[in-house]
Chains A and B, each alone.
Chain A
Amino acid sequence: MASLDLLIWLIPALPLLGFLLNAFLIRSERPAGLVASAMVVASFVVTLVATFGLAGLPAEERRIMSVAWQWISIGSFQVPFGIMLDPLTAVMALLVTGVGGLIHIYSIGYMHGDQRVVRYFAYLNLFITMMLLLVMGNNLLVLFLGWEGVGLCSFLLIGHWFERRVAGEAAVKAFVVNRIGDAAFILGMLAVFNYFGTLNFYPVEAGGVSQPGFLERSIEIMGQTVGPSWQPVGVATLITFLLLIGATGKSAQLPLFVWLPDAMAGPTPVSALIHAATMVTAGVYMMARNEAIFQASLTTQGWVMWIGALTALIAGTAALAQWDIKRVLAYSTVSQLGFMVAACGMGAYVAAIFHLLTHGLFKALLFLAAGSVIHGTNDTQDMRRMGGLRTAMPTTFWSFAIGAAALAGIVPLAGFWSKDEILTHALTGNHWPQLFILFLTSLLTALYMGRQVALIFFGQQRDPSYHAHESGRVMTVPLIVLAVGAVVGGIINLPWLHWLSDWLFPVLGEEASSFNLFMAALATAGSVGMGYLGWWIYDRAAPRVKVGGKDPAYRVTGDIWDGMEEAWYLDAAYSRVVVQPFRRLAGFLARVFDPQGIDGLVMGVARLFGWIGAGVRRLQSGYVRTYALVFTVGVLLVLGFILVATR
Chain B
Amino acid sequence: MVPTSYYILLSAALFTIGVLGVLVRRNAIVLFMSVELMLNAANLALVAFARERLGVDGQVLVFFVITVAAAEVAVGLALLVAIFRTKQTADVDEVSTLKG
Contact = CB atoms under 8 A, between A and B. Distances in A.
Contact of A629 (B23, B93, B97, B100): B23
A622 B92 contact: no
18 contacts: A620-B99, A621-B99, A622-B95, A622-B97, A622-B98, A622-B99, A622-B100, A623-B93, A624-B92, A624-B93, A625-B23, A625-B26, A625-B92, A625-B93, A628-B22, A628-B23, A629-B23, A632-B19
Contacts of A621: 96, 99-100
A623 B26 CA distance: 10
A148 B35 CA distance: 79
B95 A624 contact: yes
Contacts of B100: 616-622
Nearest to B92: A624
Contacts of A620: 98-100
Contacts of B92: 623-625
Contacts of A618: 100
Contacts of B23: 625, 628-629, 632
Interface string B3-41: 000000000000000010011101000000000000000
A620 B99 CA distance: 5
A372 B98 CA distance: 80
Name the residue among A616, A619, A628 with the largest chain B CB count within 10 angstroms: A628
Residues of B in contact with A, size category:
10 to 19
Interface of B: 19, 22-24, 26, 92-93, 95-100
Interface in A599-632: 616-625, 628-629, 632
Interface string A168-183: 0000000000000000
Nearest to A614: B100
B22 A623 contact: no
B8 to A, nearest CB: 15
Interface residues of A, number: 13
Nearest to A617: B100
Interface of A: 616-625, 628-629, 632
Nearest to B98: A622
B96 A623 contact: yes
A623 B98 CA distance: 9
Say what secondary structure dominates the interface of chain A. helix
A619 B100 CA distance: 7
B76 to A, nearest CB: 12
A618 B99 CA distance: 8
A629 B100 CA distance: 18
A616 B26 CA distance: 25
Q: Which 3 A-B pairs have the closest CB atoms?
A: A622-B99, A622-B96, A617-B100
Given A624-B93, A625-B23, 15 more contacts: A616-B100, A618-B100, A619-B100, A621-B100, A622-B97, A623-B92, A623-B93, A623-B96, A624-B95, A624-B96, A625-B22, A625-B24, A625-B92, A625-B93, A629-B23
Nearest to A629: B23
Contacts of B24: 625
Nearest to B22: A628
Contacts of A619: 100
A629 B31 CA distance: 13
Contacts of B26: 625
A128 B93 CA distance: 82
Nearest to A620: B100
A643 to B, nearest CB: 15
A574 to B, nearest CB: 61
B66 to A, nearest CB: 23
A86 to B, nearest CB: 80
B12 to A, nearest CB: 13
A621 B97 CA distance: 9
Nearest to B28: A624
Contacts of B97: 622
A616 B93 CA distance: 20
A296 B72 CA distance: 93
A624 B24 CA distance: 11
A618 B95 CA distance: 17
A616 B99 CA distance: 12
A638 to B, nearest CB: 15
B89 to A, nearest CB: 13
A632 B18 CA distance: 12
A623 B28 CA distance: 12
A166 B30 CA distance: 85
B91 to A, nearest CB: 10
A50 to B, nearest CB: 81
A359 B99 CA distance: 84
A625 B99 CA distance: 13
A206 B24 CA distance: 89
B42 to A, nearest CB: 13
A623 B100 CA distance: 11
A294 B92 CA distance: 91
A629 B96 CA distance: 16
A628 B38 CA distance: 14
B20 to A, nearest CB: 10
Nearest to A635: B19
Contacts of A616: 100
A629 B93 CA distance: 14
B39 to A, nearest CB: 15
Nearest to A621: B99
Contacts of B93: 623-625
Nearest to A619: B100
Name the residue among B19, B92, B97, B99 with the largest chain A CB count within 10 angstroms: B99
A623 B92 CA distance: 7
A321 B63 CA distance: 109
